[in-house]
Structure 1
Amino acid sequence: MNPRTECRGVVAGGVVPGLIVGLREGLEGALIIGIILAYLTKIGQRSLHRYVFIGTGAALAGSIGIAGLLALLHVKFTGTGEALFEGVAAILAVLVLTSMVLWMMKAAKDIRRHVEERINLLVDRRQVMGLASLAFIAVFREGVETVLFMAGLTATIGTDVVAGAAAGLAVAAFLGYGLFAASWKINLGRFFQGTGLFLIVIAAGLFSIGLHELQEAGVLPWLAAEVYNIHASFPDDDQANPLGYLLRGLIGYNDNPTQLEVAGYVAYWILAAFLYWSIRTGKIEFVSRPLRRLWAAVKRTPEPLSADPPAL
């Protein structure tokens, strides 16, 4: 277990990461639901809004249920088991977060078109419950991503993350209302690019923290020697150094990282940059083509193998 997760007081190190995650995930969900509602109104099917609300409510309830289950599991673990749970939660959160950021690079510009095509198909076939399912899947995916990432951050940084996420979701709901009810103008491409870069920074730090927890659990006993130790001059705990604690939440700062933590941090950045370049350019086919196939399957649309993915 990481004793730093018990630090409470001067600085809430997890608030900012939680805020960004909640804002981004919440706005993604609000964006899709807003598109569905607006398009149903446009084609004269406003009476079908209730099915969208049913799906959205069910997705929110399901996400809350998963959050409660993970919280219960965390409480049940102690000692080595707790360190193992925290490490696995952090690594899983990194995988989910990174895949989400990369997916939005590809899909952001085409979301409206794909959602509207799906709605037309469902309305033509009179599959009203399909609308509920469409809303459920859209919101539940964002909810699960948020819950998993919150689980990773909460386990390794602290419960301050939850407050930040709640604030982010509230802001996302406000922005979502403004986008579709008040016709506000927001450059969504730049928004997702900016928040995506910030989330990659958070994920890199969370990955190294996850490796640290797995080392404490004895799962990864290799490269355990400290690279440096500056705890005396710039510690990363709340009471002694609020700035260090804040940096821990933002970038995964550690005052005494092991060789494995440093190697993992660097390796994550190399891999993230490689995948980013691959998806943006489409020049590395053995990476970009499988990803495009996966996304095409998820969206249930034909995949143009010869075309590069559009840049935001």
Structure 2
Amino acid sequence: VVWMRHHGRTLKRDLESGLARAAEETGGLSAALLAAIAVGREGAETVLFLYGIVAENAGGGWVDLMLGAALGAGLAVVTAVLFMKGSRLLPQRVFFRISEVLLLLLASGLLVSGLEGFINMEWLPPLVEPVWDSGALLQDDGLLGTFAGYRARPALSILGLWVLYWIGTLWLLRAPRRSA
């Protein structure tokens, strides 16, 4: 996200010129190979992501997993179609800002899940558990808990590292660009 924020302005131009140069030099073979590798990498990433979900929910939820995967694939296709048509309702800059926020929220959720695993394996002390209990207001088994890492009864170590994640992330995103 930080890299894209700093390089996003020139990325399209750089990719197009590099692709044209590669097509001239190799007749398009290198571009086709690069596209195949990129598609394979994305597929492997999807498999690893879904495996992580299955491992976290061991013992059930296959229907939910498949439904979620199908819904995600469908939304990806719809997003790609809308993006390629150049929707005037959602400019590319806004689209990428929304994607950036969603990726950062997802990363914070993955951080919380990983830290909970460390606490369960006793590799990380919880320090104080729970710091508070907001379960009466909002449970953590919904979308916010799954996607963004919200916990109704957080351990102090998770809360502290989550806050450090957001401080570091916001600092990196606000840091001025250095010229090369």
Whether contact under 8 Å (2:129, 2:155) holds in the other structure is yes
Whether contact under 8 Å (2:126, 2:158) holds in the other structure is no
**Amino acid of the residue matched to residue 163 of structure 2?**
V
SS of equivalent to 1:268: helix
Cross-structure match for 2:174: 277
Where structure 1 has 5 or more consecutive residues not aligned to the other structure, the ranges are: 1-100, 238-243, 286-303, 306-312
1:138: Cα distance to partner?
Answer: 3.0
1:172: Cα distance to partner?
Answer: 2.9
Residue 10 of structure 2 corresponds to residue 106 of structure 1: no
Where structure 2 has 5 or more consecutive residues not aligned to the other structure, the ranges are: none
Cross-structure match for 1:47: none
Q: How far apart, in 2, do the equivalents of 1:141 and 1:103 lie?
A: 19
Q: How far apart, in 2, do the equivalents of 1:106 and 1:146 lie?
A: 26
Q: How far apart, in 2, do the equivalents of 1:205 and 1:169 lie?
A: 20
**Amino acid of the residue matched to residue 214 of structure 1?**
F
- TM-score with structure 2 length normalisation? 0.76
Whether contact under 8 Å (2:125, 2:157) holds in the other structure is no
- TM-score with structure 1 length normalisation? 0.47
Cross-structure match for 1:169: 73
Partner residue of 2:93 out of 189, 201, 205: 189
Residue 153 of structure 2 corresponds to residue 256 of structure 1: yes
Whether contact under 8 Å (1:214, 1:220) holds in the other structure is yes
**Amino acid of the residue matched to residue 188 of structure 1?**
Q
**Amino acid of the residue matched to residue 139 of structure 2?**
D
- Equivalent pairs, count: 175
Q: How far apart, in 1, do the equivalents of 2:111 and 2:70 lie?
A: 23
Cross-structure match for 1:140: 40
1:179: Cα distance to partner?
Answer: 5.0
**Amino acid of the residue matched to residue 207 of structure 1?**
L
1:255-285 C-alpha deviation (Å, 9 max, x unpaired): 221111111111111111011112xx21xx5
SS of equivalent to 1:260: helix
1:88-146 C-alpha deviation (Å, 9 max, x unpaired): xxxxxxxxxxxxx2233234333332222222222212343212222123333444444
SS of equivalent to 1:125: helix
Cross-structure match for 1:236: 139
Alignment root-mean-square deviation, CA: 3.0
Counting only pairs closer than 5 Å after superposition, residues 1-312 of structure 1 correspond to structure 2 as 101-156=1-56, 160=64, 163-177=67-81, 179-180=83-84, 184-185=87-88, 186-221=90-125, 223=127, 225-231=129-135, 233-234=136-137, 236=139, 245-278=142-175, 281-282=176-177, 305=180
SS of equivalent to 1:106: helix
1:207: Cα distance to partner?
Answer: 1.2
1:208: Cα distance to partner?
Answer: 1.8
Whether contact under 8 Å (1:228, 1:256) holds in the other structure is yes
Q: How far apart, in 2, do the equivalents of 1:246 and 1:178 lie?
A: 24
Cross-structure match for 1:15: none
Of structures 1 and 2, the one with the larger relative CO (CA 8 A, separation 6+) is 1
Whether contact under 8 Å (2:126, 2:155) holds in the other structure is no
